[in-house]
Structure 1
Amino acid sequence: MFSKTRVTEPGPRTQPTPEPEPARGLDTSYDIPAAAAPRARTAPSVLSADLTVTGNLQTQGDVQVEGTVEGDIRAHQLIVGESATIRGEIVAEEVVVNGRVVGRVRGLKVRLTATARVEGDIIHKTIAIESGAHFEGSVQRQEDPLANGVTPKLAPPARAANAEAE
């Protein structure tokens, strides 16, 4: 049934050596939907403390503002530095506020750190407000806060509506 002769036979034993695989290039012959493809993480664009921008900023990437922006900002991720001031609407998937914002903030994830000063409404999916943050405005949770359009206003209470009708 079993034979020891192969194990005890004198002589060199040769095993097949695996051939090294050839170097592979990137195969781009298949299609990946843009939403499914992982986004290459790049360094954020930084607006330094001595810079003042008047106008709107729009990017698909990340932005870190240390200076002053007089206008709206739309980005993937926005970090508002401690020395920064933004006067305008912010729309981003992730917003971290360390400085001052005067205007509406819309984001999937919004975080106000202890040094944040926000005057305006926040529309978010998730929010974190650290102790010490200063905030004046309203907070509203929406499933998709990035959707274009106007935030619906709440209807007045029924008693107030009836009193106005008289």
Structure 2
Amino acid sequence: MFSKSKINDPVTGKETDAPRPSAPQAPASSGAPAPKGSDFKASAPKVKPPASTLSADLHVTGNMKTTGDIQVEGTVEGDIRAHLLTIGESATIKGEVIADDVVINGRIVGRVRGLKVRLTSTARVEGDIIHKTIAIESGAHFEGSVQRQDDPLNPGAKNPPSPKANPGS
């Protein structure tokens, strides 16, 4: 399984010998199951990519959809769907916003749908907000209606009538 290599020899001096120690270990460790109690993982953990940022000088016309995170500092005319959407103070969105988490520091003209929606003190929203949880800081400007739904990300979902509301029916 293991063989003597130049790494054990006292005279190496070559830079090409440095990567050699990892080569014999990789096949042995990836093919064998990890011992019980070990923190070793057979595959590399998936690293979450950083948020995509749309800079303040960028003007986008059209819809955007991602499973990742977006930070908008510019202007978007269209709908945006993301996991985490952060609207910067200088940003303006004209369209529908759908995200698991929405943090609004700038301006949105259109509907907002999110599991967690947060309007900071610099937020300006003109449109309806459909949410599971919402936080509105003092100083935020909001014109529209607010509606709580268990599944706000699904546009066709309506809150079913509670079975506790009519126990005799």
Q: Does 1:109 align with 2:116?
A: yes
Letter in 1 for 2:111: R
> What corresponds to 1:130 in structure 2?
137
Q: Which residue of the partner structure matches residue 66 of structure 2?
A: 59
Per-residue deviation, 1:140: 0.3
**What is the TM-score of this pair, normalised by structure 1?**
0.68
Residues 1-166 of structure 1: matches in 2 within 5 Å? Answer: 24-25=29-30, 26-27=41-42, 40-149=47-156
* Displacement of 1:27: 2.8
Q: Write the distance in 2 (CA, Å) between the matches of 1:90 and 1:27.
A: 38
Gaps of 5+ in 2: 1-24, 31-40, 160-169
What is the number of residues matched between the two proteins?
122
Aligned partners of 1:80, 1:39: CA distance in 2, in Å?
Answer: 26
CA shift digits 1:41-64 (9 cap, x unpaired): 221000000000000000010000
Whose Rg is larger? 1
* Structure 1 residues not aligned, in runs of 5+: 1-21, 29-37, 153-166
Percent of residue pairs identical: 71
In structure 2, what is the Cα distance between the partners aligned to 1:144 and 1:150? 7
Give 1:87's aligned amino acid: K
Structure 2 distance, partners of 1:151, 1:55, is 28
Q: Distance in 1 between matches of 2:79 and 2:124?
A: 17
Letter paired with 1:134: H
TM-score by length of 2: 0.67
Q: Distance in 2 between matches of 1:151 and 1:91?
A: 16
Alpha-carbon distance change, 39 to 137 in structure 1, aligned in 2, over 3 angstroms: farther
